[in-house]
Amino acid sequence: MDRHRRGRFEKDGDVDLDPTNRRILAELARNARQSTAAIARAVHLSRQAVQDRIRAMEDQNIITGYHAAVTEAAAPLRAMILLQFATRPCAPALTWLSEVSGITYVASLAGEWDAMAMIAVADTDALTQLNDQIAKSPLIERAQSQIILKEQR
């Protein structure tokens, strides 16, 4: 993106995940099929400003794709991920995780790990994309996922 077109939400070519960008990401996580105009109304920006911000986040691989949300029963691959947060307090990271598509449950923990999340996705490619999305978050210091082979009650 040209320097003259770069908005205040970018820093030297890197997207700044300011509160507005985080709200846009939350809106996309809630419903990636909604129109840019609907997102713009939700975050109180113009449609063009939202499009520019989304494009910048795509260019920086913060947004890596758009995926269908499926029910837990329809997702053949289930996994658990343990997480250490990069920041305190933990609430922003927990909120962000709860809005990530594919994560069905989030709990905070005491001990070595700050949280655990349950994941339901279509396949290992979707799990890899989700792991990459989590790893790129400035809120996450470390993550370790485990595929669930069999569940018993």
DSSP structure string for 71-89:
-GGG-SEEEEEEEEESSSS
Q: Is 108 exposed, middle or buried (0-12, 13-18, 19+ CB in 10 A)?
A: middle
* 126 Cβ contact list (under 8 Å, min separation 6): 67, 77, 102
Model pLDDT for residues 13-25, shown as the tens digit of each residue: 566 678 898 889 8
* 74 Cβ contact list (under 8 Å, min separation 6): none
> Average pLDDT of 78-105?
92
Using alpha carbons, select from 147, 105, 108, 148 the residue that is nearest to residue 128. 147
Model pLDDT for residues 25-76, shown as the tens digit of each residue: 888 877 888 899 999 999 999 999 999 999 998 888 888 787 666 555 566 7
> Average pLDDT of 119-145?
92
> Average pLDDT of 79-89?
94
Q: What is the pLDDT of residue 27?
A: 85
Q: What is the pLDDT of residue 110?
A: 94
> Higher confidence at residue 29 or residue 125?
125
Q: What is the pLDDT of residue 17?
A: 79
Q: Model's pTM, two decimal places? A: 0.53
Determine the 3-state secondary structure of 47 from DSSP.
Answer: helix
CATH number assigned to the domain covering 72-147: 3.30.70.920
Q: Is 110 exposed, middle or buried (0-12, 13-18, 19+ CB in 10 A)?
A: exposed
CATH number assigned to the domain covering 10-59: 1.10.10
Q: What is the pLDDT of residue 12?
A: 44
Q: What is the pLDDT of residue 6?
A: 41
Paired tokens of 113 = 């790990």
Q: Alpha carbon 36 to chain centroid distance?
A: 18
- Residue intervals of the chain classified under CATH 1.10.10 are 10-59
Host H or E run for residue 33: none
- Residue intervals of the chain classified under CATH 3.30.70.920 are 72-147
| CA separation for the pair 132, 41 (Å, rounded) | 29
